[in-house]
Every structure is written in structure tokens, then in C-alpha cells.
A = this chain, B = another copy of it.
Amino acid sequence: MAASIKDVAKEAGVSIATVSRVLNDINVVNEETKKKVQEAIKKLQYRPNIVARSLKTQKTSTIGIIIPDISSQFYPEIVRGAEDVANIYNYNIILCNTDLDTEKEMEYLRVLREKMVEGILYMSSSLQPKIFNLIDELQIPTVLIENRDEDKKYPSVTIDNEAGAFDAVNYLIKKGNKKIAYIGNKDNGSNVTYLRYEGYKRALKENNMELDDKVVYSGGLKVEDGYEGIIHIIEENKIDSVFCASDECAIGAINALRERNIKVPEDVDVMGFNDIYEASIFYPKITTIAQPMYDMGSVGMRLLIKIINKQKVEETNFELPYQLIERDSCK
């Protein structure tokens, strides 16, 4: 058993209240008693029991992070950004992987409540109403990252996905491409990625280009989806470029094209989205819209901590700048 506040009090010949005071820098404790206490603390290698403190103060200095999957390519950096900021403010994070399973999300939410986390960073691409009901019920400050609810009732950190996609497709058009395919999601469903399809459509429209469903593949955002999507598209269509709603898709598409001796970018321009690490080391290096993952995590955490501490927050719905990164997958 490690030393408790009692042991320190006895060692220093004071009451536990006094020990607590020097621990928390409260009141002007007499310099000498303070010193005595500090010596006792050192001697006993005392460290306060945070669980006990938490019970009393109702503050656990821990924050829950709910994500689909830490072993994906996208979330680790967000989590890292979040943890770095948490660490600065002496918070710790409890990590929860949900695989987008709503039941699992809800169970974690409840467990986090039981463990009295002070706040939650919530990432999910399917923002179900019952999740929000639960969040309301739990009464724990919650910040949404990557996605957000439509009426912006909850604090959030995102990028403008529609505009990002718009810029991407515009870039492709500026490069002289005439027939631009799309691979990704296009169905709504409280998921941001469909906004990329919206951006794609708007870019075509504003450039007086026709939307052709035959070169639109809505199957998902994984490598396989890109692989299959492009095969499906080029089977019966001639394209000169493709906008992929994720870098994984872009990678899959490039690999499929390569197998068919179609050169990227000489024959087909390929754009990705997100700028995951692979995008920068893949061959060819992928031109993409970069989401500031680390910043999304750190900004989200900072916002959350402010809310927890009831500080004034001027803005609760952050839209962080994205960036078009020109690399080698487009001419």
C-alpha cells in the first residue's frame, strides 16, 4: 500500500487538512509547516490518490475519446493531437474503439459516464439521433470531431468537406480534364463524406460540365472500393481523371490502373482526400486535399477543456482550413 495523506500528516506532525492544503496550494500555509509537509511528502514518496480526490471533487481529469478504429489510417493523428493537449492540461484520455457500432458507442458512452469522465471527444461517421439523446441525458460536455450534427447544436471541429471537394474537382478541371469520375460515398446519412460528392457536383455544374452517373461509383472509402470502383468505371467509360473521396480509394484506383497499364498521371489524373501518411510516400505521391488531423484533435480537445472549465468560448463550431497538396498523381 502506498503512503496516504494520513501517513504524510503523521510524518510531518500536522493534520491531514494541512497536508491537503499544501497539496492544493490553498490559503497561505505557514512557510515552515509547508516545508515540513513537503519534506514528509518527499520522504514517503507520497502521491495523492486521484480516485479519492475525484470522488470528493467530482473531477477525474480524464476525458473519453470515442473513435471508430484506432488502427485505421485516419484517427491516430487526431488522437495524438488530442492527447498532447490533454496532457498539457493534466488530463488523461480513455480510448474507445467502436467500429461504428451504435450499440457499442452507447455502451462506451455509459461506461464513460460511470467513470465520471469530464468530457468526451466523439468521432463517428454515423451520427444517430439516439446517440445524441444519450449524450443529452448523460450531461457530459461533448465535442464532435470530423462530423457534426446538422443544426450545429453540439460543439464540433470539422473542415468544409464540400468546399474541399469542390476545390479538388476544380483543380482537376483547371488541369484540362474533361471527364472526371467520382469514387466514394454519395448517399447522405448524417455522414460528412457525402458532402464531397456535393462538392464534386457543384464543381461540374459551375464549369458547365455534365454529371454522368456512369462514372460515379458509390461504394465506400477503402482501398478495395477504389480498386473496384475504377475497374467498374473504366470498363465502359473513357475518363481522364478521377476524384476519390479518400486517399485509400485513390491508392486502390491507382493500383488497379497500373495493373491495366494505364499510367498515372500521364493517362489519368487521380486525386485523393485526407492526406493520410501513405499519400506522401506512395508511388506516385498522391495529390490530395489535406485535412489537418492533428489540429482537429488538438483544437477539439482544447475546446472541450474550455467547455469543461466553463470558460467563455466565442465559437463552438470550428471549421479548420484544409489544403490542396499538389503531388505526383496529377499532371
Chain A 178-221: CB-based contact to B (< 8 A → 1; otherwise 0): 00000000000000000000000000000000000000000000
The reply to whether B223 and A281 form a contact with Cβ atoms under 8 Å apart is yes
- Find chain B residues with CB under 8 A from A114 CB: 47-50
The reply to whether B278 and A281 form a contact with Cβ atoms under 8 Å apart is yes
The reply to whether B93 and A45 form a contact with Cβ atoms under 8 Å apart is no
Smallest distance from the beta carbon of A14 to chain B beta carbons, Å?
22
- Find chain B residues with CB under 8 A from A97 CB: 80, 83-84, 87
Main secondary structure of the interface of A (DSSP, over half): helix
Is the CB of A331 closer than 8 A to any CB of chain B?
Answer: no
Smallest distance from the beta carbon of A166 to chain B beta carbons, Å?
28
In whole angstroms, what is the CA distance A116 to B92 when docked? 13
The reply to whether A51 and B83 form a contact with Cβ atoms under 8 Å apart is no
Chain A 92-135: CB-based contact to B (< 8 A → 1; otherwise 0): 11111100000000000011011110000000000000000000
The reply to whether B115 and A50 form a contact with Cβ atoms under 8 Å apart is yes
Chain A 44-78: CB-based contact to B (< 8 A → 1; otherwise 0): 01011111101100001010000001111101110
Is the CB of A287 closer than 8 A to any CB of chain B?
Answer: no
Is the CB of A137 closer than 8 A to any CB of chain B?
Answer: yes
The reply to whether A255 and B278 form a contact with Cβ atoms under 8 Å apart is no
Copies of the protein in its oligomer: 2
In whole angstroms, what is the CA distance A268 to B322 when docked? 39
Is the CB of A2 closer than 8 A to any CB of chain B?
Answer: yes
Smallest distance from the beta carbon of A50 to chain B beta carbons, Å?
4
- Find chain B residues with CB under 8 A from A47 CB: 110, 113-114
Is the CB of A294 closer than 8 A to any CB of chain B?
Answer: yes
In whole angstroms, what is the CA distance A50 to B112 when docked? 10
Which A residues are closer than 8 A to B by beta carbons? 2, 45, 47-52, 54-55, 60, 62, 69-73, 75-77, 79-80, 83-84, 87, 92-97, 110-111, 113-116, 137, 139, 223, 251-252, 254-255, 258, 277-278, 281-283, 294
Give 4 closest A-B pairs by Cβ, nearest first. A71-B80, A71-B76, A50-B114, A71-B77
